[in-house]
A and B are shown apart, each in its own frame.
Chain A
Amino acid sequence: MNLRSVYKIPDGKLLKISLDYNERNNSIESINITGDFFAHPEEAIEILEDKLKDARFDRLFLRNKIDSIIKENNLELIGLNVEGLTHGIMLCKP
């Protein structure tokens, strides 16, 4: 099932999420993170998308996973943050 959300990050940019949801496992099959935010290095968003494949669709789990991926890859987000990204993804949940 394809799910989408559009979320304006408070004091930040517009985040658009499109993801394929696996209802059977309550997990994310694939995710596309788009928007007018900034991320340094830019390629790290692709790493983030890749590492969120098969992730459990659960707010706390996603928050911790995103936080650790960002730290591991020294990703600097501007106009976007861990809370906002987690919330944007959770807004997709049916």
Chain B
Amino acid sequence: MNEKWRLLITKDRTAYNNMAIDWAVLKASSNGEVQPTVRFYTWKPSAISIGYFQSLDEEIDLNKCKKHGVDYVRRITGGGAVYHEHELTYSIVIPENHPQISKNIMESYGCICGAVIKGLSQLGIESKYAPINDIIVNGKKISGNAQTRKSKTVLQHGTVLIDVNVEKMFSLLKVPNEKIRDKMISDVKQRLISIKHLLGKDVSFDEVANTMKKGFEEEFNIELVEGSLTEKEIEDAEIFEKEYFSSKEWNHKK
């Protein structure tokens, strides 16, 4: 019989809450309180997350974000700035010593990205892993991924672009030189692709979540059983949200 892992679907959470939940699940997993967990989620309001090592002030036009009602948050994972709007975000939390997870970080990226790739193939989209942390279709990025390991536990989260609005994304990000903004937008348009663009139709979050569920089940040879956050995870997420992700000190750390 296949091992059962927990599936969480949490739609329309704030950036602060989403990042706090990922950390709370990591903590619960490292304490042996929960099974390996896969979560699919969305962001409301839309938000920009920056990598742990990035500087908010250097990457994001904070006034534009405020004007457009877009939140911003620093992740506990490295990597780059991401505008979260029309996408499915996933996270997976699993003990580092689980037999399905490689000790080697790059190998584990490949394996977890394999689940997303299998999910996309359920939609009829052929994609491949492009190290370090991307999944591409015909050379264009459809998914970005970031991993951290804390307390002997792996957390990887990543995006799957359902649709993309490069102009809006760039209106919120700082560019080194305004004169090259248009050139950068056209370059990024050449480098990003979404499910909507590939299939030529709107695809719902639920549909993508369903295919990603199958992708994770197939890749890890497990059964994902929908569950909910434990009371302890909800409590911890509230603490992490307040003390870290919604705080100026955390977000402006660099």
Measured CB to CB, the residues of A under 8 A from B are: 6, 12-14, 16, 32-42, 45, 76, 78-79
Q: Which residues of B contact A40 (CB under 8 A)?
A: 105, 148-149
A42 CB contact (under 8 Å) in B52, B81, B106: B52
- 26 CB contacts below 8 A, A to B, read A13-B80, A13-B132, A14-B80, A32-B254, A34-B53, A34-B55, A34-B58, A34-B254, A35-B54, A36-B51, A36-B54, A36-B79, A36-B80, A37-B78, A38-B79, A38-B105, A38-B133, A39-B78, A40-B105, A40-B149, A41-B149, A42-B76, A45-B53, A78-B105, A78-B106, A78-B132
Main DSSP-derived SS at the A contact region: strand
Instruction: Indicate with 1 or 0, residue by residue over B80-119, a CB within 8 angstroms of chain A CB atoms.
Output: 1100000000000000000000000110000000000000
Instruction: List A contacts of B105 (CB < 8 A).
Output: 38, 40, 76, 78
Q: What CA separation (Å) do A45 and B253 show in the bound complex?
A: 13
For chains A and B in complex, what number of residue pairs have CB atoms within 8 angstroms?
A: 56
Does B254 contact A38, Cβ atoms closer than 8 Å? Answer: no
Q: Please classify how large the interface on chain B is, using the bins under 10, 10 to 19, 20 to 34, 35 or more.
A: 20 to 34
User: Are B53 and A42 within 8 A (Cβ)?
Assistant: yes
Residues of chain A lying within 8 A (CB to CB) of residue B150? 41
A40 and B146 alpha carbons, distance in the complex (Å)? 12
Bound-complex Cα distance A45 to B53 (A): 8
> Once the chains bind, are A33 and B132 in contact (CB under 8 Å)?
no
Chain B residues near A78 (CB, 8 Å)?
78, 105-106, 132
State the Cβ distance, A40 to closest chain B Cβ, in Å.
6
With contact pairs A42-B78, A42-B148, A78-B132 given, residues A36 and B53 touching in the complex (Cβ less than 8 Å): yes
